[in-house]
Chains A and B, each alone.
Chain A
Amino acid sequence: MEKSNNLMMPVAVVIAGLIIGGAVMSTSDKGAPSRVAQAPSGNQPVPSQLSGSTDAVDPITDQDHIAGNPDAAVVVVEYSDFECPFCKRFHETMNQVIDEYGDNGDVAWVYRQFPIDQLHSKARLESSISECVADVGGNDAFWAFTNSFYELTPSNNQTDLDAVIPQILGEIGIDKLAVQSCVDSDKYATHIQDDVDNAAETGGRGTPWSIVIGPDGTTYPLSGAQPYAAVKQIIDLALSNK
């Protein structure tokens, strides 16, 4: 009895290590086959045990929303959820990145949609609205909308869409009726789902999920709202492969 009691803490340490190790191994690319995510519907959680490969990131096209130099040596592809408070923080960080690297054209920032429906029921609609703003007003309008949205809204599904969307559209000079018509037509539903699928396929398990693509094609995964210093380290590392 006493021996088994004495062993309880070391056993706890071993169990803890196994749990952490198991979680780490399930997220690691090493030796794990790439599995394509089942296309999650609006009501299904993103599978948590897929590892994915960042090399599966969809190529950058003119359909993408790009800030900075489109021909930049390093591209940061971010998969984001408009209601995620950490995406809101990371949005500021990425704006800082573009401020620093945008002038010399070294970095481009690509914004893709990754609404997490089971946490933020409003996020998919907001993704659709943002895509329709781009449809109506172009790339600059998309970024103006996104910057304003993150600045004005409280995150965590607390956004009053009826108040904030007309406000933002009015401020950036976009036709509200045109955007409404686009949203009602569900024109970008497939595009948004494609982004969600690609996020899952590349190993995205939450938001923000980013992939830094170097000039030689090397991809670096970046999970979460990492501080500017960390993002800068990875960008500089990628740039060193020029």
Chain B
Amino acid sequence: MVFSIAVLIPNIRLLIQIIPDLSISLSIKLNLIFSLFGAIQTNFTALSASYTIAISILFGVNLVLFFHYIRSQRTGVSKVNGAAGIGGLISGIFGIGCAACGTFILTWVLGFVGAAGLVSFLPLGGEEFGILGVILLVLSIRMITKKITGPQTCSI
């Protein structure tokens, strides 16, 4: 889902125009959507494509581990773990986007405070957030895994 959003979101207007159009056949709509996924090669730098794919996978793993942990009726996830998970997801989302025009969502958010141009001052044009997202998600997975595999004890 994260991967689909990342790749398709630059053309959300096109999809909103075409999908509800009943005069266009389902096969044409599906062919268009599938062809747009090819943008992972053409519309992303090697770095942004890498972390987009990584975030998609890590987010899914994080979510699965988290719900497994909760369902196993253990005590709640620590604040640090939760923060890493949330931070990783949000940072990763900010990092998503075409590097040539700055990150799509980050510039939208910064636009509210008139600071969209700040993205251009970042050395990697906003891609830092994608890298940070990967790091935080890996950290979150590590923490949850430790909790799952660690002994259940009541600490003194």
Q: Do A and B come from the same complex?
A: yes
Question: B-contacting residues of A (Cβ < 8 Å)?
Answer: 1-6, 8-9, 11-13, 15-16, 19-20, 22-24, 26-30, 44-45, 47-49, 54, 81, 84-87, 89-90, 93, 116, 118-119, 203, 205-207, 220-227, 229-230, 232-234, 237
- B residues within 8 A CB of A15? 86, 90
0 or 1 for each of B45-63: is its CB under 8 Å from A? (1 = yes): 1000000000000000011
16 sampled A-B residue pairs with Cβ under 8 A: A8-B77, A8-B85, A9-B86, A19-B109, A22-B108, A23-B104, A24-B9, A84-B100, A119-B101, A205-B101, A205-B104, A224-B11, A226-B38, A226-B43, A230-B32, A233-B31
**Taking A119-B120, A224-B43, A229-B38 as contacts, is the C-beta distance between A28 and B12 under 8 angstroms?**
yes
| A118 closest partner in B (C-beta) | B120
Q: A172–B56 Cα gap in the complex (Å)?
A: 47
Q: A237–B49 Cα gap in the complex (Å)?
A: 28
**Taking A119-B101, A206-B100 as contacts, is the C-beta distance between A12 and B17 under 8 angstroms?**
no
Interface centre among B28, B35, B42, B70 (most CB of A within 10 A): B42
Contact between A6 and B70, CB atoms less than 8 A apart: yes
**Taking A15-B86, A27-B12, A224-B39 as contacts, is the C-beta distance between A5 and B79 under 8 angstroms?**
yes
Cβ-defined partner of A5 (8 Å) among B17, B76, B125: B76
**Taking A19-B109, A203-B13, A205-B101 as contacts, is the C-beta distance between A5 and B38 under 8 angstroms?**
no
| A231 closest partner in B (C-beta) | B35
Q: Which 4 pairs of residues, A with B, have the shortest CB-CB distance?
A: A206-B101, A8-B82, A227-B38, A5-B76
Contact between B108 and A48, CB atoms less than 8 A apart: yes
Contact between B13 and A85, CB atoms less than 8 A apart: no
- A residues within 8 A CB of B101? 84, 116, 119, 205-207
Contact between B108 and A23, CB atoms less than 8 A apart: yes
- A residues within 8 A CB of B31? 233
Q: A24–B6 Cα gap in the complex (Å)?
A: 11
- A residues within 8 A CB of B41? 227
| A86 closest partner in B (C-beta) | B100
Q: A29–B17 Cα gap in the complex (Å)?
A: 9
Further contacts, 18 of them, CB under 8 A, given A119-B100, A206-B101: A3-B76, A8-B79, A20-B5, A20-B93, A27-B12, A28-B16, A48-B107, A84-B100, A85-B100, A89-B42, A221-B14, A221-B17, A223-B10, A224-B98, A226-B38, A227-B42, A230-B35, A237-B28
0 or 1 for each of B75-119: is its CB under 8 Å from A? (1 = yes): 111110011011001100100001011101101111110001100
Q: A220–B108 Cα gap in the complex (Å)?
A: 22
| A90 closest partner in B (C-beta) | B42
Cβ-defined partner of B77 (8 Å) among A6, A86, A203, A225: A6
Contact between B108 and A26, CB atoms less than 8 A apart: yes
Q: A93–B42 Cα gap in the complex (Å)?
A: 10
Q: A90–B38 Cα gap in the complex (Å)?
A: 13
Contact between A28 and B13, CB atoms less than 8 A apart: yes
Min CB–CB distance B60 → chain A (angstroms): 12
- A residues within 8 A CB of B10? 223-224
Q: A48–B112 Cα gap in the complex (Å)?
A: 9
Contact between B86 and A8, CB atoms less than 8 A apart: yes
| B36 closest partner in A (C-beta) | A230
Min CB–CB distance A166 → chain B (angstroms): 27
| B78 closest partner in A (C-beta) | A5
**Taking A23-B105, A28-B12, A205-B101 as contacts, is the C-beta distance between A220 and B17 under 8 angstroms?**
yes
Q: A233–B11 Cα gap in the complex (Å)?
A: 14
- A residues within 8 A CB of B120? 45, 118-119
